[in-house]
Structure 1
Amino acid sequence: MPDAQPTPYRPRRLDGPVLVGVTPGQSLAVLHRAADLAHTLAVPLVCAFADPAAFSEREADGRREAVAIDPDGVDDDAASIRADLYRGLTSELAVTGLTWTFVALAGEPAAALGGHAEEIDASVIVVGSRERARLEEVIGGSVALRLSHRQARPVVVVPLGHHVGHHRGRGER
C-alpha cells in the first residue's frame, strides 16, 4: 500500500466569537483590543465575567447560571458587580456597531473562560495582564498563563503596564 500523501494545509475562516474576560476595574484596553478583533474578524464579541466565589448550575432551558457558593453571603454583592459590569460594557460598546453579549461564569477564571470558549467555539480568548502580580498569581500563575497551557485555541494577552490609550490609525505617527 503506497504512503498516503498528507493533506495540504488550507486556512479556514475564524468565524467563532471573540471571548473577552472582563473584571471590575479592569483597563478598557482589554475590551478595546477584543472589540478590535471582533470587528476585524466580523464576529460577535462575548464579554465574560468569571466569579470564583460562585458555581455553575444548568437551568431547565440549557443556560448556565452562576450561583453564589454561600447564598446567605455576598450574593447581592455579586449581582451588583455583574450589573455594574454590564452597564459599563453597554456604555463602552453602544456606539461600536458590534453584536455583543455578556455572560456571568462561575469558578476559577481560567477554567471558566476555557470551558465557555469551548462551548461557544470561540475563535480567540482575550485577557489582560496584570500591572502588578498578586501573590496567588505568582504562586499559581496568571489566568492568561493557565489558559494558554490548558487548551488549543489562541489566547491574546493585552499588556496593561504600558498602555497609553487607543492605538493610532494607519498612517498616523
Structure 2
Amino acid sequence: MTESPANPPARTGSMQGPVLVGVVPGQRAVVLEQAAALASAAGLPLVCGYVDVTVYPVDGTTGGPLAPIDPDGMDGDAEPLPQAFKDAVSAQLDGTGIDWSLVLLAGEPAHALARQAGEIGASMIVVGAREHKLGSAIKELTSGSVARQLLHRQDRPVLVVPVDPRVPDQQ
C-alpha cells in the first residue's frame, strides 16, 4: 500500500498548482523557456528550484535549517545561490509576464524536487535531459538521471526537456 502525498496534484483535468522547474548554473536556456511557456499557457506561477547538493535539510523540509555534508569543506563566505545565477534566471524570466520565484533546495536533486513539489502542490515538474557528454554518461551509470528518478518515484507529471537531441538528418 502506498501513502498519498500531503498535497497531491489536482485530478480535475486542469492544472492548478505551480509549475516546478529544476534549474542549475550553465543549464541550456530551453529548459527554463519551456517551463515558462507551459506556466504562462496554463496561467500558473513558475517555481524555479535550485538544488545545492553540498548541504542537506536537517529536518527534512524545504526552507528549514541546512547542514553541510562536509563541514570541513564549507566556505563561510560562499553564497548558496550565486548572484550571477540569480541574475541569469531573472534575465530569462523578466518580461515574460509570469509570476515566478527562485528557491534554494538541498540534498539529492530528485528527492529535493519531489519534496518541494509536494510542499507547494505543484501541477508538474520540469527538468532538462542530460547532455550527450562522457561525464554525463558516467554520472548516469553511477547514480542515474534526475529525470529517470523522478519518473519512477512521482505521481505528478514530469516533463523532460531535451537539451541536445540527436535526431538524424533526413536524407
TM-score (norm 1): 0.78
With over 3 angstroms needed to count, the CA separation of the structure-2 counterparts of 1:28 and 1:66, relative to structure 1, is farther
Name the structure 1 match of 2:152.
149
Give CA deviations for 1:46-81 in whole Å, capped at 9, x if unaligned. 0001111111146xxx83354433345244575265
Is the 1:46–1:102 Cα contact (8 Å) retained in structure 2? yes
Q: Percent identity, please.
A: 46
- Which residue number in structure 2 is paired with residue 92 of structure 1? 92
In structure 1, what is the Cα distance between the partners aligned to 2:77 and 2:160?
A: 28
Q: Who is 1:169 aligned against?
A: none
After superposition, the C-alpha distances for 1:75-106 in whole angstroms (9 at most, x for unaligned) are 45752654322111111111111100111111
Q: Closer, same or farther in 2 for the Cα pair 1:33/1:69, shift >3 Å?
A: same
Counterpart of 2:131?
131
Q: Which runs of 5+ in 2 are unaligned?
A: 1-10, 167-171
Question: Is the 8 Å Cα contact of residues 114 and 151 (structure 1) preserved in structure 2?
Answer: yes
Residue in structure 2 matched with residue 7 of structure 1 by the alignment: none
Please name the residue that 1:168 is paired with: none
Counterpart CA distance in 1 for 2:97 and 2:66 is: 28
Q: After the TM superposition, which residues 52-67 of structure 1 pair with which residues of structure 2 at under 5 Å, given as runs?
A: 52-57=53-58, 63-67=63-67
Aligned twin of 2:116: 116
Superposition TM-score, scaled by structure 2 size: 0.79
Aligned length: 151
CA contact (8 A) 1:54 1:69 kept: yes
**Worse-superposed segment, 136-145 or 72-81:** 72-81
RMSD of aligned Cα (Å) = 2.3
Q: 1:145 to 1:40 in 2, by over 3 A?
A: same
Deviates more, 1:65-74 or 1:27-36: 65-74
- Alpha-carbon separation, structure 2, partners of 1:145 and 1:77: 34
**Partner Cα distance (2:23, 2:76) in 1:** 19
The answer to whether the aligner puts 1:23 opposite 2:19 as a matched pair is no
| CA deviation after TM superposition for structure 1 residue 118, in Å | 0.6
Which stretches in structure 1 are left out of the alignment for 5+ residues?
1-9, 164-173
